[in-house]
Structure 1
């Protein structure tokens, strides 16, 4: 089955109007393309939950802090369409820039609280860009369900909060991180790693997993985070941007493991910024 590629908002709304008249439930999987098995796991979940599935591809300039990063972000539309074919996706929405940000566009959506710290501290305006484009995609698709990966855990919290706060009638579902056999979280940015860096990259997950296990067993959080940072740097990473323990609900910093939590990290390797997170829960 060839997936229809739609680029104009009016065309998208034309097909979704037909689905709604038929009483069908619509799911959306928002992406920036360069699809991998992590994205495809979201599509599979959407396919199981809805009558119709829309995958969106839009490299959103408003969530990039670095022009070079935006320019070098992989764009693989035809390959993405090929990967989606086995899932019988009903529409691939690849909007032109003016369909998302028309001339004179001046609205910005900002979600406080969960957007602060972590990636929000080091990428000013990033989550405003995420929140704004996701709100637009929710409204343009009119989806009943939306699927996001837990790898971008802070982003998932931002999207969930904006839908709740703005009464957007969409159910946001987070899906587990998909990993390579060696533990590296799948990411479109992994394509930019050199062969040497790809060999080093799993050290991030390994150090985080070891730290989470020791913290769950009762070790002091601060010392375990310092130990894990040292292990990541020793493995060959250039910088650990952050490594923090945060409450899973609301992302408040946790000096001790007193509630279900996430250990979240961002680190630089070979000029590529890798992020990851893993759950941590008190023993017993």
Structure 2
């Protein structure tokens, strides 16, 4: 009887001891653990349970894949000034073209007026040297340079003196001084008007170019906001082109306005210096005229 009970207990304990032996086997022998089957156990037919499918594991994204994706996303975005200008809105392109034309006009005026002022200053310096070193005005005509303001003043006085007799009265002398003064003032005004031609355009460019560039800036930013509303995303690829063309319009506007201001001030300084030297020539001519009037008055009294 005892033997029978012991045999039943051993038969019941054998299935329970098998998993424990399998788990403790690596610790006893130092061998690799036995691989367990990865397939899920099927439910028993009598339980009526349906096995759930395994959950998909998230796939790892490597840094190379992420960098490639970012590069493909911004591959079409313009990254240099030429592409920014080429992909800009037609209104912004028109603004930039107008500003570029203004900048070209500034450079043209600078080159032309520099040559004109240099030639006029050299001729005026030669006329001043001839008039200051002469004893009278009657012999200066053939030696004067090509027609310019200084030589025009000398010729005016010589013509007025040639039209009067050698003996002058007080009335003739006063009329001569008045006519010469009016003629010299008109020659001075004509010379300055010729030198200032085109300089006023620089002031207009300096005053209007920043506002024209600001118009392009506003339109470019508005275009960027419209792109955000259309794509419903604030990605840098969507916003960057509009902001880039807006800032480029501002830069072009400043690039046209700043040189215009500098050239305008430089030309005005040179014109002011020319007017000062022209006033010196007029003063020397009036001094020679005064001496000639005194000599003729003395001859009339004699």
TM-score range, shorter chain: under 0.3
Q: Which has the higher strand share?
A: 1
Instruction: Tell me the TM-score normalized by structure 2.
Output: 0.15
Higher fraction of helix: 2
Bigger relative contact order (CA 8 A; separation at least 6)? 2
* Greater Rg by CA: 2
Q: TM-score scaled by structure 1?
A: 0.16
